[in-house]
């Protein structure tokens, strides 16, 4: 099972509001606090459903966020049409490596407002893991280019305070004239926490609009 790890929101949630709002400046992990003034890379958070594209050296299979998650029929058809013809390309690129492409299934009927992104359904890539190694952004983009895949857009760089400020005021999605769901941020150099988890965080526009 190659379940994608949980991405912690940058700040802790406030129990006084039943965790609907954040306690600003109270970081959810010590790593975020320590690295808050470093350079982070910001990508747009897409409001869809988590999809895993797995390759075992021979064939391609698909999974949702967990092994028990169901994939919408239309999205499942879209994934098969997109990836199955790429099986030989996967073999040429990855040989017999154990590979997982992580992305978002998005579009019409996937989450409320999914049709803002596109009227059909599709897949946008945000991470690749080969064996135990997470690939760097430039390598993800290179592989995506070879496979003809879209990658979540980089929308900027900066400190965690700048990330929060951008999400708080809201910004238009790279997909059109509607509000982006939020931001996913990771240090410009990939880092791991003391427990072996990746240092990566997120913030949503709605985190500041909850009542």
pLDDT in tens, 25-40: 999 999 999 999 999 9
The pLDDT, as a whole number, for residue 1 is 53
The pLDDT, as a whole number, for residue 210 is 58
Residues 6 or more apart whose CB falls under 8 angstroms from that of 12 comprise: 22, 23, 26, 27, 28
**pTM, entire model:** 0.93
Alpha carbons 197 and 30: distance in angstroms, whole number: 13
Alpha carbons 11 and 64: distance in angstroms, whole number: 27
The count of other CB atoms within 10 Å of the CB of residue 177 is 7
Inter-residue contact 43 to 155 (CB < 8 Å): yes
Alpha carbons 187 and 100: distance in angstroms, whole number: 22
Give me the mean pLDDT over the 154-179 stretch. Answer: 96
DSSP H stretches of helix in the chain = 30-35, 73-83, 87-94, 137-147, 160-169
pLDDT in tens, 94-133: 998 999 999 999 999 898 889 999 999 999 999 999 999 9
The pLDDT, as a whole number, for residue 72 is 87
For residue 46, which of 2, 110, 90, 133 has the smallest C-alpha distance?
110
The pLDDT, as a whole number, for residue 51 is 97
pLDDT in tens, 133-150: 999 999 999 999 999 999
Give all domains of the chain, ordered by start, each with its CATH number.
8-46+170-208 (no CATH), 49-151 (3.30.470.30)
Alpha carbons 160 and 29: distance in angstroms, whole number: 13
Alpha carbons 202 and 199: distance in angstroms, whole number: 11
Three-state secondary structure along 37-76?
CCCEEEEEECCCEEEEEEECCCCEEEECCCCCCCCCHHHH
The pLDDT, as a whole number, for residue 211 is 47
């Amino acid at each position: 099972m190659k379940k994608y790890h949980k991405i912690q929101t940058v700040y802790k949630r406030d129990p006084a509001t039943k965790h609907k709002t954040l306690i600003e400046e109270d970081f959810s992990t010590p790593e975020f606090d320590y690295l808050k003034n470093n350079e982070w890379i910001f990508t747009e958070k897409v409001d869809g459903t988590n999809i895993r594209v797995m390759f075992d050296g021979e064939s391609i299979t698909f999974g949702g966020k967990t092994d028990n998650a169901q994939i919408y029929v239309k999205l499942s058809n879209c994934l098969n049409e997109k990836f199955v013809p790429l099986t030989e390309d996967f073999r040429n690129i990855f040989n017999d490596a154990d590979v997982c492409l992580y992305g978002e299934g998005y579009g019409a009927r996937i989450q409320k407002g999914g049709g803002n992104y596109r009227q059909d359904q599709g897949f946008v890539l945000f991470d690749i893991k080969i064996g135990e190694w997470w690939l760097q952004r430039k390598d993800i983009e290179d592989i995506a280019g070879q496979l003809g895949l879209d990658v979540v857009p980089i929308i900027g760089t900066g400190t965690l305070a700048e990330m929060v400020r951008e999400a708080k005021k809201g910004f238009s999605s790279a997909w059109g004239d509607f509000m982006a769901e939020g931001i996913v941020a990771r240090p410009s150099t990939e880092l791991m926490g003391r427990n072996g988890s990746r240092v990566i965080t997120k913030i949503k526009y709605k985190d500041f609009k909850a009542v």
